Amino acid sequence: MTGNISYLTDYEPFDGGYVSFGQGGCKITGKGTIKTGKVEFENVYFVKDYKYNLFSVSQICDNKNSILFTDSECIVLGQNFKLSDDANVLLRTPRQHNMYSIDLNNIVPHKDLTCLVVKASAEECMQWNRRL
C-alpha cells in the first residue's frame, strides 16, 4: 500500500474497498507495480493521503523472496538464497492460509529459546489476520 501514486507503474483505477488505520481509514482507489532496483512488487494498492509505504511479508514471499528481520533492519533476500544448514534455525513454522501460525503443542524447545505467542486457536488467528 502506498499514498504516493508516483511510485506506481502500470497504474490502473481499482475499487478495492476501504482500509482502516489509526483513528480513520481511506478508500483504495487504484493499484500498480513498484519497481526498485532488484525488486518488483505487483498489485500494490494506492490509498490517497496514506503517509507510508506498507508491504506485507506474504506479498514479498509470494515473489519467492525470503525475509530476515533483525532488531535493527529488515532484509529482503534473493530468490536463490539458501540456508547453508539449520544450525541457527531456532523455530520454523509453515505458511498456511496466507499466515504463519505457531502451534504451541508442537514446539520442541531448543536450548534457551523463549517463545512469546498468543494462545489462540487457528480460527481466531485467521480472524485476526483478516482484520489486519
Domain boundaries, the chain: 93-132
Cell 508442537 belongs to residue? 106
- Of 96, 91, 92, 93, which Cα lies nearest the Cα of 126? 96
pLDDT in the model for residue 129: 64
Model pLDDT, residue 110? 56
Q: Closest Cα partner for 5 from 43, 48, 42? A: 48
User: What does pTM read for this prediction?
Assistant: 0.63
To which residue does cell 514479498 refer? 60
pLDDT tens sequence across 14-71: 888 888 877 778 899 999 999 888 888 888 999 988 888 888 888 888 888 888 888 8
Direct distance between the N- and C-terminal alpha carbons of the chain, in angstroms, rounded to an integer: 13
Q: Specify whether the CB–CB gap between 33 and 39 falls below 8 A.
A: no
Q: Indicate the helix (H) or strand (E) that contains 30.
A: strand 24-36
pLDDT score of 94: 80
How much is the CA Rg of the chain, to the nearest whole Å? 18
C-alpha 75/C-alpha 78 separation (Å) is 10
Residue 37's pLDDT is what?
83
Q: What is the pLDDT of residues 71-101, one digit of tens each?
A: 899 898 988 998 888 888 877 788 887 777 7
CA distances from 57 to 14, 74, 107 (A): 22, 10, 23
User: d(Cα 124, Cα 71) in Å, to the nearest integer?
Assistant: 28
